[in-house]
């Protein structure tokens, strides 16, 4: 096992750890926004570490650029989807929150 293989193993295992941590967050956190935060942060970092770990194993530069491009697309799509889900949850919570009664005649 040479240095590039060791580098790949370390980064891929670190990426798997973050995927596992995001999955645990999905199961253990109480509300949708906490779960969403855990998943988006852990998955983006986990995928990034795995991509970094795979780069030394590739034979051509174009393969590396493809991996980095896929990682970038996942980051942008994850951010957009997370924003849409979070805004929907916040809107639903705002509709469920009762408005306080107004007090008339007091100054």
Burial 3-15 (b: 16+ CB within 10 A, else e): eeeeebeebbebb
Res 52: pLDDT: 95
Q: Is residue 25 within 8 Å of residue 39, measured between CB atoms?
A: yes
pTM over 0.75: yes
Res 8: pLDDT: 95
Res 10: pLDDT: 96
Res 107: pLDDT: 56
- Which residue ranges in the chain fall short of pLDDT 50? none
């Amino acid at each position: 096992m040479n240095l590039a293989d060791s580098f790949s193993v370390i980064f891929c295992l670190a990426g798997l750890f973050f995927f596992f941590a995001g999955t645990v967050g999905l199961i253990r956190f109480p509300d949708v926004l906490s779960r969403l935060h855990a998943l988006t942060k852990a998955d983006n970092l986990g995928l990034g570490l795995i991509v970094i770990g795979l780069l030394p194993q590739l034979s051509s530069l174009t393969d590396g650029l493809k991996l980095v491009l896929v990682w970038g697309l996942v980051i942008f799509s994850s951010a957009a989807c997370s924003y849409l889900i979070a805004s929907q949850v916040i809107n639903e919570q705002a509709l469920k929150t009762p408005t306080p009664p107004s007090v008339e005649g007091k100054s």
